[in-house]
Structures are given as C-alpha cells and as structure tokens.
Amino acid sequence: MIYAPAEDSYLIQKEIQRLAKGKVLEIGIGSGILSETAAKLKGVTSVLGVDIKKEAVAHCKAEVKSKRCKFLVSDLFGKVPKQKFDTIIFNPPYLPEQEGELWELQTDVSGGKHGYEVVDRFLSSVNDFLTDKGVVLLLFSTLTGKSKVEEFIAQNMMEYDELSKLKIAWEQLFVYRIKKSKLRKTFEKKGVKSLRAFNRGHRGIIYTGKLKAKKIAIKVQRTDIDAKDTVDNEVKQLRVLNRKGIGPKVIFSGKDYFAYNFVEGDFIFDYIDRKDVKKADVIKVLVDVFEQMYVLDHLKLNKEEMHHPVKHVVVGKKNKVTLLDFERCKPRNKVHNVTQFCQFVISGRMLPHLQRHNLKISMLDMLKLSKGYSRHKTRENFENILGLLK
C-alpha cells in the first residue's frame, strides 16, 4: 500500500514550490509527488527520496521520470549517504497509533504511540544532513501535538517559523520552516556533532554532543528567566577550579555558554545504594568531596547548595568524584563549603543511605567539630572532621 496524496501533501507541496533549492532530500516519499515537484524547480540541482517501504521506492523509480531524482529504501536517515542537503522535506506519519493497526497503515499515518515519536527521531538526526543555510520543511497536525513538535525543535537547537496551516474536519495541519539556530552553527563550526538537549536547569540548559568522537556537554544560559550571566560566572570559576582538579574540564566557552567534558557516573545517593559499592568506597568518596570543599574554602569561593548536593556530586569509574553546577559560586570573605557538607552528611536525607553500609557518624560530634572548623579553618580542625568518617 502506498500513501496517496491528500490535503497534507498539497499543503506542503505549495511551500516546496516556493522554497526548495539546491540538493533536496525527501524523507518518506510515498507516491513521489513531493520529490517530483522539487525536481521540476529551477533552483533544485538534485533530489534524493527515501522511504521505509520497498513498494514506495519501486513505485517512484517506475513512475517519476525526472533524471534529477534518485530513490532508495531507508528508515529515516538510516541509509542516506553522509552528505549535506540544502532542503529536507518530511511529510511524516503523524497520527497517534491505534491498537491493532497493520504495519502498512502504521507506516503511512501513525507516528508512534502518541503520534510524535517519528518526528522526534527525525529532528534528532536532521542536523547532521543539513547545510548551515539549509531549511527543513516539516508538516504535522494538532493531533501530533504542536507544543511537542516545538519542544523537539528547541531541544535540537533549531528555530522555526510557521509557513501555512489548514483546518480540516478533525484537525489542523501546519507546515513549519525549520533552520539551525545561530548558536548551533557556532558549535558545529567548532566541530561539535549530534547536539541534543540533555537537561533543563534553573539557570541553564545543558546539551550533549560529540567532539572528535568524545562526548561533551554544553551549558547555555536560559533567556526566559530574570537571572543573567550565571553561565558566564560558572565558567569563570571553573577555569580557576580546573587548575585544582575540581569540576568538569572546560573545553571552550563564549558569551552565555561553555563546553566541557561530559561527566559519566552516578549521583551520590544512587552510587551509595549500588550493590557493588562497599563501605570503604563510600568513605573514600565522602572524604574526596570534603577535600574539594576544603580547597574551595581556602580559595575563598562559596559553591553554595552543598547542604543538599544530591545532583551536584557525580561518582564515576574508580570512585572518581566530580562536582557539578558552579553557577552560584562566588568569592566570599565568609565561606561554608565544608560546614554545609557536614550538614548534609548527618542529615535525615543521607542517614538511610549510610545505614545500608552500617556507616554511623555522630551528629553531636560532627556539629561540634564543624563549629570549631568554622571558627578556625585549619588543616588540623579539618582532619578532625575527616576522622569521624574514618
């Protein structure tokens, strides 16, 4: 079964006639109407059309006569040659999946359980095949989830504008023109590939990518909040701390962003609760965090949030501890990194995790010793705190 042209095909066809140029790639060719439309345009030099269905590819090879067109079988970009295209067209299956649908019908109209999964997969890979000035022409429906599609676009560091829409009986169709954002182009020029949103924090958005086959992370300042320059402050402090072996290693930076080596490992609670982790491992990790807090104290830098650092301490291979999130780190005359971590270690949140390893720390002794350290931040007073762990 081959998807026959319908309202959606004709809606995106108009935008193709207006905007397609250069080397064109169409994902999901169906009857071939859109590839054939592009091939007729003066500004188009070649068209490659792909489809997951062998029948659709065979049909297009037989029926589309343009010498500019080539067709092959591919699940999205799976078999597409590694090259860049000026225009990428996708009229995807975009409806939510119905129970009991045949595979042939699913691949024609169903975009996954919720209707947007195929669009998500497409947008996750499209940038690797798009030129810097290239455009994506994407059609979808309100049944796909308009906000979801826009979320996927943002996650992949792209921007869009709405070209056209059409109201039909039970849904509204949209055609979006999607381009690489200025920031994405900046990172790609530095050699970063496979950029994808990873996490959204209070003050920054973290993306992951590949640089020379190595996984990296990029933190970008959020623009939808009142706080400004928190990412710039973080990279400033990290460059100081990296010289002391603290924090993820900064690779490059610019206004409102910086890239660093991606930190693999477990957050501290997840690490302590692992079955392969022993009591001695837990003690070693806690001592390591305390040592880094001691360095911060003597640099007169307050990291903040170390009284509840459940997402700030990552433990990797060989119990290597890396501290994350230095957005609020600032020079201070009064510093409390060690004492904040003391609070965390004896807190009710930490207690059940330590009990798994029969690790008991006297709350009264910790409070007494942390007060002594707070008054006089000497190595001797610090060692007394570590003694409660050892």
| Domain ranges within the chain, ordered by starting residue | 7-180, 185-261, 266-389
Cα separation of 54 and 66, whole Å? Answer: 19
Asked if residues 97 and 112 have their Cβ atoms less than 8 Å apart, the reply is yes
Distant-in-sequence, close-in-space partners of 247: CB < 8 Å, separation ≥ 6: 238, 241, 322, 323, 324, 326
Cα dihedral angle (82, 198, 26, 16), rounded to 10 degrees?
-130
Q: What number of CA atoms fall less than 13 Å from residue 346's CA on the CB side?
A: 18
Selecting from 3.30.200.20, 3.30.2420.10, 3.40.366.30, 3.20.20.150, what CATH number does the domain 185-261 have? 3.30.200.20
Cα separation of 389 and 367, whole Å? Answer: 14
127 beta partners: none
48 beta partners: 25, 70
- Name the residue among 11, 68, 2, 66 with its Cα closest to residue 29: 2
Fold of 7-180: Rossmann fold (3.40.50)
Q: Which two tokens stand for residue 339?
A: 């004492």
pLDDT tens-place values along the chain, 390 residues long: 688 889 999 999 999 999 999 999 999 999 999 999 999 999 999 999 999 999 999 999 999 999 999 999 999 999 999 999 999 999 998 666 655 444 344 444 444 455 589 999 999 999 999 999 999 999 999 988 899 999 999 989 999 999 999 999 889 999 999 999 999 999 999 999 989 889 988 888 999 999 999 999 999 998 887 778 999 999 999 999 999 999 999 999 999 999 999 999 999 999 999 999 999 999 999 999 999 999 999 999 999 999 999 999 999 999 999 999 999 999 999 999 999 999 999 999 999 999 999 999 999 999 999 999 999 999 999 999 999 997
The pTM of the full predicted model, rounded to 2 decimals, is: 0.81
Cα separation of 47 and 107, whole Å? Answer: 22
